[in-house]
Chains A and B, each alone.
Chain A
Amino acid sequence: MSKKYDVVVIGAGNGGLVAAAKSALEGKKTLLIERHNLPGGSATSFVRGRFEFEASLHELCGIGPFIEGGRELKKIFDELGVSEKIEWVALDEAFRMISLNEKEHADYTLPTTRKAFVDKVEEYCPGSREKSEKLFDIIEEANAGLDYLGTIQNFSTDIFKKIFGEYSDFINSAGYTVEEVFDALDLPQAARDCFGGYWLYLGTPLDEQSFMHYFTMFKSYIIDGPVIPKTRSHGISSAILERFEELGGEAWMSTAVRKILVRNGTVCGVELDNGDVIECDYIICNASPYNMYTKLIDGADIPKYQIKKLNSVKLAPKGFSMFLGLDKSAEELGINNHSYFIYDTTDTAKQSELTRSRAANNMQAAVCLNKGVPGCSPDGTCILYITSLFTGDDAWNDITEENYVAAKREFADRLISSFEKATGVKIRDSIEEIEIASPVTYARYLDAPNGTIYGFENTGSYGIVQRVVTDAMGKKIGHLYYAGGYGTKSLGFSPSYSTGYEAATAALRNMEKEAAKQ
């Protein structure tokens, strides 16, 4: 078999799906290859008994239901023509954050939108209003600055003047950690807890977390507003795939790529598991750089810079999730919130230390889907997800085939107890269905090294700017682009979709450039 495609996309995860759809939209003959029997990667769902569980998405940012015209992800989905295939629910409540350390007296429920958030912080932390407003100003201006940077094609002195003049808050904050910015504002502890509550979504403690990642995330959740899809994230994945096929794209499921073929430093095709070779001009790879550079591409074809770059960064946290179908409604159980962040301590550095092992970690993000999507499970039942993270590389190294099920159950058991202790809600006796996913599960489904779900660690020294610049430099394999959670935008749904869009755009631009040369 030897068909020639303009673009082959390896992997139908969030990045791969959007890249494929954009490529097909621009009229390129595009083949999307996925080793699983369904699209989405992390963005999927599964059915147990009478429940359909979301596999990964808590809240999606980037759609921007509170912003006129929506935000960048909505624009991408609109352009691709997938928006009308997905029904969103916007969330008014951001999260409830509770510390298990009673001495910290932290139990805060925060709303979305700037005004409501500031009012609430003032309530929890009287006298903080001015500082909260200042922090929001910085967050908004820094985001505007970053957006502006993204529009620049060629640098000039005018541009520098503009950045320093209009977006000084971007300049003043982007190079620091979140904690440094909080320190500079002298933000009181309770306000820090409220503003920092989301840190787990980025997986890096506030004393190491790049403020640039923080301000983009915080704005997109609180100011632009989060949404959840009515039919789980599998609904998003299916909608993009459907659109891709409508646009003439070809998608092969249950098909694995064994090799990326490189000729004279430029990709020329892929070899499938069954030995078939598919020729193509461009490849957008949604498999992780670890897979690309240790399995898919022959060592001799890989530029040294790419290996060094990969060796210079660390893996982000590893994932753990449990999926509970409860045989009582949220109201009967007393679950009042959609999204909970429960921490051992509000000291994020300390918490991050605790998450190095299973023995000491109780940190969790819990989501009751019914509080966001009423009717998502049968009457008299509800769905609850509890997710935790592990930092470092060793938390699950003692796992064997035989002790695995008991070990993950033991940890799940602990998280259930912690949830009950923090919220006072009893859930243990109502479990009708339970599935437990650990780093082993993520290793299985995502081929993720050590079960990481967040790509590379997003510390201050590996923020967005550093990613973009080191990505632009160095020798590359020609016509090969990466899209996904290990990309320049860092982890998460919205960034992965957007790297897919950018990868396809870059490939298309290169096609035009090369066509113009000839």
Chain B
Amino acid sequence: MKIKANPYSSGIKDFTNTLLSLPGRFGDVAKASDKKPMSPTEFQVNKVAAAIHPKMQVLVVEKIEELVDDFKCYTLKAENGKAAYFRAGQYLAFQIKIGNSLCTRAYSIASSPKDAVNGIYKIAVKRVADGFVSGYILDNWKEGAMVTAYAPEGTFVYEPLRDAKTVIGIAGGSGITPFLSLAKAIDERTENLNLILLYGARTEKDLAFKDELDRIALSNGSFKVVYVLSESKQKGYEHGFIGADLIKKYAPASADYSVFACGPEAMYNFLAKEVETLGIRRKFIRFEMQGVSKMTAKNAGLTDETCKVTVIDKGEKREIEGRCNETVLTALEKAGIAVPVRCRSGECGFCRSKLVCGEVYIDDASDYRRLADAQFNYIHPCCTFPKGDITIKIN
């Protein structure tokens, strides 16, 4: 309603207008419904938020396929039929109880986002030499087993506002899974890019998902796969390690391209130097996180000494054992303490905890902390090594 009076014509009248508009307000309250208002959870955007980011998902192992030696694909079906939707390239972090330990491990999703609509995820697990969890999964997850995973997470995704239209994907070992998801998404037209995948393995029989990749490449012009074998020379395959020459051979000659890589640490160490020689902008290079480098502790001169880790959780104190050459998170996991963990690479920040006292080592390469977190002594336990006895507050 417009007030026609000039606000500067009459003080009394305007005072009336200012304060005596109140009865109108009281009237509004008096007239209003006394029914319970709509809960935040009932709005469409809140529903979508809840569906994409459930706190935890219970999944049933529906099918197990042996891909190659010590590399299995698990088809998981959401117990309630609803698997949270995701972007190709994202991962699921599983919470796994092994003996007294409570571990979290991230596995990239190999299935397509559309499969999630039908309640299905696929992941692939490869046995890691001296790996604690991969071996456990391979030996213990049976069909019908119930497992728990957090909502999909991760930033290893194709983003057209940021990435080049053509992506050179570089996969090694279990690092094939996010690219398989991306290839499927291209095939199902939920992603729109040209993916040229360079997939490295020792021999032909070490290539997982080959039939599926070949099938998509055959039917879809936007996806191409090139197999690169390091230990055998075969017709129709590239030979050697994936480096700058191979990338240049398959990359577009006169257009921008992005390089996406996912694979083991040894591959990254080689590839990082090679990619540098390409002279492409940093924004076009993305390496998926694969945990903190196994060399971190050694390079920092941290030894196998044990130390005391005092853990404060909601005001309760508990003492556990840690090792100077293992991350604080490893100590927490071994002690069976539940910590909100996802990436285990320093990046996501879910495990952020307060370092109350003690000295720690954090490698620059895995230090993704916020400025204020560094200022106020917060750490990401997944990439932090105790240098001696420490006290942390996890919650």
- State the A residues within 8 Å of B (CB): 3, 37-38, 45-48, 52, 164, 168, 171-176, 180-181, 184, 230-232, 234-235, 237-239, 241-242, 250, 252-255, 288, 290-291, 293-295, 299, 304-305, 307-313, 318, 327, 396-397, 399-402, 404-405, 409, 412-413, 416, 428, 430-434, 438-441, 443-444, 447-451, 460-462, 465-466, 469-470, 473-474
Point out the residue from B87, B340, B347 that lies within 8 Å of A254, measured CB to CB.
Answer: B340
**B interface, over-half SS:** loop
Residues of B within 8 A of A402 (CB): 85, 113, 117, 190
Bound-state Cα–Cα, A250 to B316, Å: 11
CB of B35 within 8 A of CB of A171, answer no
Bound-state Cα–Cα, A477 to B373, Å: 37
CB of A433 within 8 A of CB of B162, answer yes
Point out the residue from B37, B160, B161, B376 that lies within 8 Å of A242, measured CB to CB.
Answer: B376
CB of A450 within 8 A of CB of B46, answer yes
Q: Within 8 Å of chain A (Cβ to Cβ): is B215?
A: no
Residues of B within 8 A of A405 (CB): 87
With A409-B161, A434-B159 already in contact, the answer to whether A450 and B370 are too (CB < 8 A) is no
3 nearest A-B pairs in the assembled complex, by CB-CB distance: A175-B18, A432-B283, A312-B32
Residues of A within 8 A of B53 (CB): 444
- Residue among B33, B315, B371, B394 with most chain A CB within 10 A: B371
Residues of B within 8 A of A299 (CB): 36
CB of B281 within 8 A of CB of A308, answer no
Point out the residue from A46, A231, A434 that lies within 8 Å of B375, measured CB to CB.
Answer: A231
Residues of B within 8 A of A448 (CB): 40
- Residue among B2, B49, B283, B370 with most chain A CB within 10 A: B49
Bound-state Cα–Cα, A413 to B160, Å: 10
CB of A431 within 8 A of CB of B7, answer no
Point out the residue from B31, B43, B314 that lies within 8 Å of A450, measured CB to CB.
Answer: B43
* Complex: chain A residue closest to B159, CB-CB: A434
CB of B162 within 8 A of CB of A232, answer no
CB of B368 within 8 A of CB of A174, answer no
With A46-B349, A308-B33 already in contact, the answer to whether A288 and B87 are too (CB < 8 A) is no
Bound-state Cα–Cα, A394 to B254, Å: 44
CB of B19 within 8 A of CB of A465, answer yes
CB of A307 within 8 A of CB of B37, answer yes
> Which residues, 372 to 395 on B, are CB-close (under 8 Å) to A?
372-373, 375-376, 378, 394-395
> Which residues, 4 to 53 on B, are CB-close (under 8 Å) to A?
6-8, 11, 14-15, 17-19, 21-22, 24-26, 28-41, 43-46, 48-53
Given contacts A255-B314, A295-B40, A441-B49, 19 further A-B contacts (CB under 8 A): A45-B371, A47-B370, A181-B7, A234-B370, A238-B375, A252-B314, A254-B395, A255-B395, A307-B35, A311-B35, A397-B44, A401-B117, A404-B85, A431-B283, A447-B40, A449-B38, A450-B43, A461-B25, A465-B22
* Complex: chain B residue closest to A398, CB-CB: B44
CB of A52 within 8 A of CB of B370, answer yes
CB of B395 within 8 A of CB of A252, answer yes
- State the B residues within 8 Å of A (CB): 2-3, 6-8, 11, 14-15, 17-19, 21-22, 24-26, 28-41, 43-46, 48-53, 84-85, 87, 113, 117, 155, 159-162, 190, 281-283, 314-315, 340, 347, 349-352, 368-373, 375-376, 378, 394-395
Residues of A within 8 A of B282 (CB): 327, 432
CB of A37 within 8 A of CB of B49, answer no
Point out the residue from A52, A290, A431 that lies within 8 Å of B37, measured CB to CB.
Answer: A290
CB of A443 within 8 A of CB of B375, answer no
Bound-state Cα–Cα, A448 to B39, Å: 10
Point out the residue from B25, B347, B368 that lies within 8 Å of A469, measured CB to CB.
Answer: B25
Residues of B within 8 A of A438 (CB): 45
Bound-state Cα–Cα, A430 to B202, Å: 38
Residues of B within 8 A of A439 (CB): 45
Q: Smallest distance from the beta carbon of B101 to chain A beta carbons, Å?
A: 20
CB of B155 within 8 A of CB of A443, answer no
Bound-state Cα–Cα, A327 to B30, Å: 56
CB of A401 within 8 A of CB of B48, answer yes
* Complex: chain B residue closest to A252, CB-CB: B314
Residues of A within 8 A of B351 (CB): 37
Q: Smallest distance from the beta carbon of B200 to chain A beta carbons, Å?
A: 25
* Complex: chain B residue closest to A406, CB-CB: B190
Q: Smallest distance from the beta carbon of A241 to chain B beta carbons, Å?
A: 8
* Complex: chain A residue closest to B4, CB-CB: A180
Bound-state Cα–Cα, A241 to B41, Å: 29
* Complex: chain A residue closest to B28, CB-CB: A312
Q: Smallest distance from the beta carbon of A515 to chain B beta carbons, Å?
A: 27
* Complex: chain B residue closest to A274, CB-CB: B314
- Residue among B29, B37, B41 with most chain A CB within 10 A: B29
CB of B395 within 8 A of CB of A440, answer no
* Complex: chain B residue closest to A235, CB-CB: B372
Bound-state Cα–Cα, A20 to B285, Å: 44
Point out the residue from A234, A241, A295 that lies within 8 Å of B39, measured CB to CB.
Answer: A295
